[in-house]
Structure 1
Amino acid sequence: MSATLSLAVGQIRRRPAAFAGLAVALFLAIAAVTLFGSLVAAQLAAPAAVRSVAVGGPGLMVIAGAFGEIAVLVALFVVVNALGFTLRQQHRDLALLRTIAATPRQVRRLVRVQVAATTVLVAVPGWAAGHLAARWFLAALQQRGMAAPGIRIPGTPLPMAVSLVAALLVGLAATAVAARRISRIAPAAALAASSTGYGRAGGVVRLLAGAGALGGGALLLRLAATRSADELDKAGQAALLGSLVLLVAVALLGPPAARVLAAVLGAPVRALAPGTGWLADANLRGYAARLSSAVVPVALLVGLSGTMLIMTRTAEHVARAAGAATSVTKASDVWLRQAELGLLVCFAAVSTVNTLVALTADRRREFVLLRLVGGTRRQLLRMLSVEAVMTTAVGVLLGAGVAVAAAGAFSRAVTGSVVPVVPGAACGWVVAGAVVLTVPAVLGSGLRAVGGSAAEVVGGERG
């Protein structure tokens, strides 16, 4: 075990950039669980007289439970995505370990130790951020009459311990998903696979899992659509959970879907920019797995944000038409949903930036080869600009499809019609946010990736 720990720590020291995205994702997971665990601890530690005070809204325990559930699910999604890129950066190293007689179990153990070490490294700052966020969130709830005034965040370390255990469990679950392929294939095939992508067997399993997730998401949306008018909160939770499951399906079925959308969007791009547009389109369609990895975080951002915004606006529209205020339209609960949306957007934004920076930086060798055959830095940056715009467009379309499906199911329960009320301005800001996150992340990392000495990179320097 000591040798495995030494090797894991050595990899983290050697490739800190490869573990940065995973560290940020685990930091957010620890902070989120500490936040909502502290709220639960505050409620349980309060005197009986304080707990018995009537408050507006669903109550502190329900709020903490609902937020914590969604946060853990999204954290798992984001950590799996971040760990996938961490392993991709180490693919050749892990493949070499397989060729010198490392067993699949030893490789998986090494990855688990890496995840555990990264989790421990970010635990203290995650605890601090979560504790401060809990104090702020509790004060905001008390200001709105949704928590008793006498409740205070206790000094017990239990929420911190729970958050550490939760982050470790999320990380280990992500390890089981992300490390499966490299640890199971034959050693020679593992070394060859470092540059050839997913094999057929992995593709079949991925398609089957994606089909299962798609079916599960459809069942959840059907459950949301069939809720009665007095169960709007349950309909909203089912629709939101359904959108998460559909986004998992998008992640699993992403390569073929992304390739089709890229082909459709690529036609006008090739016509408008025959040189860089053609090359950008060829890159996106030729590396469907890479394109899918890039568009999934964008789809997560747009899908979750769009679902929340459209559901809230639909409920508000119905309440105004009926002249009544329901639990989904009261100002305090609207604020709660905005806070939940902010949490989800934070996770999605981190995933988007991490993924795009890692993907672009990993292409440094490709960029140098293009420079060696006559491409200039300006041409490469123009190509990356086109790729960034097309990647954003594909991600927005996939995320919008999920949002419309989920919000349509909710609208069916609220109004009897599958056509929801869409807040155009708010959704426009979501799309603008996706563009702001995506294009600078690609171009910023691209500026660094296209620089440096071509001879060094071709000679073996990966950067």
Structure 2
Amino acid sequence: MPNAPTPNSPVPNAPTPAAPTPGTAASCATRAEPGLRRPGRGAVAALAFGQLRRSPAAFAGSAAALFLALAAVTLFGSLFAAAAAAPAAERDPAGPGLMVIAGAFGEIAVVVAFFVVVNALGFAVRRQHRELALLRTVAATPRQVRRLVRGQVVATVLLMAVPGCAAGAFAARRFLAALQQRGMAAPAVRVPGTPLPMLVALAAVLLIALAASAVAARRISRIAPAAALTASSTEHGRTGPPRLLAGAGALVGGGLLVRLAATRPADQPDKAGQAALLASVVLLVAVALLGPLAARVVAAVLGAPVRLAAPRSGWLADANLRGYAHRLSAAVVPVSLLVGLSGTMSIMTSTAAHAASRAAAGGTSVTSATDVWLRQAELAMLVCFAAVSTVNTLVALTADRRREFALLRLVGATRRQLLRMLTVEAALTTAIGVLLGSVVAATASAAFSAALTGSALPAVPVATCGWIAVGAAALTVPAVLGTGLRAVAGPAAELVGGGRD
């Protein structure tokens, strides 16, 4: 009988573990094994900035979201500063005035910008779950993990501070000049040279980013070290009660705003429009919170014809979407945001223009040409935010599935079959996002139409809405397939073993 292996003897035919990449958390684990000493403050800081240097693409989405947020807050802060510094006699020309315009634009744009930042930072931390889990297994404390994430966030914010604030200040001057050309701001009003709006923007975005990173790092830092590594590749199976309660609260709040918009007097179309647009934002937040439930139901309905049309790739794509409800919800939310905000703005503008054409007298501020221009400018800004969120989310989610694709390849799936499956998944994700966003847009615009015309049937620009759906598909499908091409590349066995990331 052969001798049994001793605890320190090598196991026959055992696979040789892959060497850790220098500078990563895995290499830190290798160096820390003998004494399992906790990484010091300097080591944690070096690892945080090392991740930024080694994998800048992993933080590109966060950087883009932070850039837009800094630019948006600086833009509207500069307009507020310009209105406050203007002489009293020139603050309110004919029209709503610069302060009112900045407030009406800012309250929606800043909320959406912060939503995009929270979403982007959440995915940036999620992509590092394996690295953070490895740190936990080599005695890194939860506080050190949170400090690492905070260091990355602060570094990214500071890197984007100068270009973001500069872009916001430039946009404020251009926007003010456009308002002056249309008689909506006094000619003597100027954007002051004070850095206060930039400092306020930097402080606000930094606070939001730190809060978002703290929430994102909470899961990986609070669970046991042994469970952290397993948790990095799994998702929760159920939606927790706090999220359900928050989603129900957002749904009720959105309903109250819809009622508020619908009951505005006909001579207050501006207030009705802002209430309807804010209602769409709150309802989209409810979609984000209740997304796993709603997406699973809609996927079950839309998946049946897909399984019939494509028995193999369609069945696998439908099973993936329904089996990973949280992942599907995360992919659907930015598409819903894009469609919901764009559809609401487009239908409201069309409804206002249609009401003006039927009126015997001239249009009000909502139906004038200058107001149509304002709504188009706001629409362009919101679409920009939503597009960044859509691409960032879909790229992060698809890149996170490398090991899943490798396992499918090991059991016989080809790269072409995987790409065909991803195409079906992208099409279903687009359809679900367009459907949920359309419901939100229809609800909010119906309330605006009821206030403006007395009828809950708005004037729907069919061609524009069709182009919105096409634009959502043009963002979703290439983002998923482009990332999928890279994710299925490389040796499958190496990807499954964690040799590549």
TM range (shorter): over 0.9
* Equivalent residue letter for 1:128: A
Q: Provide the rounded CA distance (Å) in 1 between the counterparts of 2:202 and 2:421.
A: 42
Query: For 1:208, which of 220, 228, 245 is the aligned residue?
Result: 245
> In the TM superposition, what is the alpha-carbon distance from 1:39 to its structure 2 partner?
2.0
Alignment partner of 1:254 is 2:291: yes
Pair 1:462-2:497 in alignment: no
Q: How does 1:12-411 map to 2 (within 5 A)?
A: 12-46=52-86, 48=87, 52=90, 55-198=93-236, 200=238, 203-324=240-361, 325-411=363-449
Kindly indicate which of the two structures has a greater share of residues assigned to helix: 1
Aligned to 2:183, the other structure's residue is in SS state: coil
Q: Percent identity?
A: 76
Which is worse superposed, 33-42 or 276-285? 33-42
Q: Which amino acid aligns with 1:172?
A: L
The structural deviation recorded for 1:14 is 3.5
CA distance in 2 between partners of 1:462 and 1:326 (Å): 61
> What per-residue deviation string (whole Å, max 9, x for no partner) do you get for residues 262-286 of structure 1?
1111111111111111111111111
1:16 Cα deviation after fit: 2.1
For residue 329 of structure 1, report the CA deviation from its aligned partner.
0.7
Aligned-partner residue type, residue 169 of structure 1: L
Q: TM-score, normalised by structure 1?
A: 0.94
The verdict on how the C-alpha distance between 1:308 and 1:95 changes in structure 2, with shifts beyond 3 A counting, is same
Could you tell me how far apart the structure 2 residues matched to 1:188 and 1:107 are? 15
Match of 2:51 in 1: 11
Describe the shift of the 1:55–1:317 C-alpha distance in structure 2 as closer, same or farther (beyond 3 A): same
Q: Which amino acid aligns with 2:317?
A: A
Q: Deviations over 1:132-160 (max 9, x none)?
A: 22222122111111122233333322221
**Are the counterparts in 2 of residues 298 and 434 from structure 1 also a CA contact under 8 Å?**
yes
> Which amino acid in structure 2 is aligned with residue 346 of structure 1?
C
How far did 1:29 drift? Answer: 0.4
When residues 264 and 132 of structure 1 are mapped into structure 2, their CA distance, relative to the original with a 3 A threshold, is same
Tell me the CA shift for residue 107 of structure 1. Answer: 3.4
Q: What's the CA shift for 1:180?
A: 3.2
| Cα-to-partner distance string for 1:22-55 (whole Å, 9 max, x where unaligned) | 1110000001111222222333344x28x52763
The question of whether the paired residues in 2 share the 8 Å contact of 1:262 and 1:284 is answered with yes
In structure 1, how many angstroms separate the alpha carbons of the residues matched to 2:66 and 2:376?
Answer: 23
Letter of the 2:74 partner, please give it.
T
How many residue pairs match? The answer is 460
Would you identify which runs of 4 or more consecutive aligned residues in structure 1 move more than 6 Å?
A: none
Q: 1:420 to 1:392 in 2, by over 3 A?
A: same
- Contact in 2 for aligned 1:303/1:403 (Cα 8 Å): yes
Residue 487 of structure 2: aligned partner: 449
The 1:315–1:177 alpha-carbon spacing in structure 2 relative to 1, beyond 3 Å, is farther
State how far apart, in whole Å, the 2-side matches of 1:216 and 1:179 are: 28
The structural deviation recorded for 1:220 is 1.2
How far apart in 1 are the matches of 2:478 and 2:427?
11
What is the one-letter code of the residue matched to 2:47?
L
Amino acid at match of 1:24: A
Query: Does the CA contact (< 8 Å) of 2:82 and 2:191 recur in 1?
Result: yes
Q: Is the 8 A contact 2:90 2:189 kept in 1?
A: no
1:204-240: CA deviations, max 9, x gaps? 2211211111111111111112222222211111111
Task: From the superposition, tell whether residues 138 and 99 of structure 1 become closer, same or farther in structure 2 (CA, over 3 Å).
Answer: same
Aligned partner letter, 1:207: L
Answer yes or no: is the 8 Å Cα contact 1:217–1:245 preserved in 2: yes
Please tell me whether the aligned partners of residues 78 and 351 of structure 1 are also in contact (alpha carbons under 8 angstroms).
yes
Amino acid corresponding to residue 301 of structure 1 in structure 2:
L
1:18 touches 1:85 (CA, 8 Å); kept in 2?
no
Deviation of 1:193 (Å) = 1.7
On the 8 A contact 1:78/1:348 being kept in 2, the answer is yes
CA distance in 1, matches of 2:91, 2:109: 28
Gaps of 5+ in 1: none
Letter of the 2:166 partner, please give it.
A
SS of 1:150's equivalent? Answer: coil
CA distance in 2, matches of 1:448, 1:418: 47
420 and 146 in structure 1: CA distance in 2 versus 1, 3 angstrom threshold = same
For residues 11 and 172 of structure 1, the distance between their equivalents in structure 2, rounded to whole angstroms, comes to: 18
**Residues 57, 333 of structure 1: 8 Å contact kept:** no
Aligned residue among 437, 450, 462 for 2:475: 437
Q: Secondary structure at the match of 2:489?
A: coil
Q: CA deviation at 1:299?
A: 0.1
